[in-house]
Structure 1
Amino acid sequence: MLLTILNVIFCISFIGFAYVNLNDGDSWLWVPIYLVAAGLCGLAAIHFYYPLGYLIAISFYLIYAVRLFFSKDGVLDWIKVYGRPSLVESMQATKPYIEKAREFFGLLIISAALGINYFTTLI
């Protein structure tokens, strides 16, 4: 029951995240990222599980997260060079390191949600 509730929450959240990314310049990338996660969580909420789908999506998301972490003005620069300024100060991310850090943490959230589903299919 708890897993179903979590998946409904994740599904709705990821659909909302996809919606707010529609006006971004890179919406071609982020809308599908969030919609794939929303779809997999939505299916899990109605007890359809796709372990291979979770692994493929998690692999893509984590590889992309590593890329964002080490890229120029990425998460590592956000920490070391810029001193970790607030990610929620303004919703308009005018600085590339803020945008990349937000994207990085979004990918980790998606990966965690799908990871929960994957590991529950093993039990």
Structure 2
Amino acid sequence: MKVFNIFFCVVFIIFAGLQYNDPDPYVWMPIYLYASYFCWQSARKNFYPKWYLTGIFIYFVYAIYLFFTKDGVVDWLSQHQAENIAQTMKATKPWIEETREFFGLFICIAVLLINYFYAKKQLSKAR
């Protein structure tokens, strides 16, 4: 788990750095840095299950919004035939930007969920 968490800590820092020239870096930098911080803490065997759940909840609510909003994931799938979202780094179409953001949240949720269940297991062993 230490390697997993160090890997994602670095990945999320890179993701946060890539948000610098995004239209809304003030939203996305904290999202990725939050996940990065808790990966770092988990790698150091400091576990915060309630904070993982807080992040998961916030990310999940935002992901649902991005899924159903105009130019969101549903529009990308239904109206744009799941157009390639990785063709260029600059997202010139709003449905590509929203879909990429959705999948970024999905990655954060998955990593925090893995850490949550691992933390619960480790904390129950310690008792």
TM-score by length of 1: 0.97
Counterparts of 1:121 and 1:28, CA distance in 2: 29
Counterparts of 1:121 and 1:41, CA distance in 2: 11
Counterparts of 2:23 and 2:86, CA distance in 1: 20
CA deviations over 1:19-65 (Å, ceiling 9, x no partner)? 01011120000000000000000110111010000000000001000
Residue 110 (structure 2) aligns with: 112
> Unmatched 5+ residue regions in structure 2?
122-127
| Deviation for aligned residue 1:122 | 1.9
Counterparts of 1:65 and 1:4, CA distance in 2: 27
CA deviations over 1:54-87 (Å, ceiling 9, x no partner)? 0000000010000000000100000011100111
Residue 6 (structure 1) aligns with: 4
Counterparts of 1:109 and 1:44, CA distance in 2: 17
In the TM superposition, structure 1's runs of 4+ consecutive aligned residues that sit over 6 Å from their partners are: none
Counterparts of 1:78 and 1:23, CA distance in 2: 23
Residue 72 (structure 2) aligns with: 74
Counterparts of 2:3 and 2:105, CA distance in 1: 21
| Deviation for aligned residue 1:13 | 0.2
Match of 2:11, SS state, is helix
Counterparts of 1:122 and 1:46, CA distance in 2: 15
Counterparts of 1:32 and 1:95, CA distance in 2: 24
| Deviation for aligned residue 1:93 | 0.1
Residue 61 (structure 2) aligns with: 63
For 1:25, the aligned partner's letter is P
Percent of aligned pairs with the same amino acid: 45
TM-score by length of 2: 0.94
1:87 aligns with 2:77: no
Paired residues in the alignment total 121
Q: Rg: which structure is higher?
A: 2
For 2:21, the aligned partner's letter is N
| Deviation for aligned residue 1:88 | 0.5
CA RMSD in angstroms, aligned pairs only: 0.5
Select the residue among 16, 19, 23 that pairs with 1:18: 16
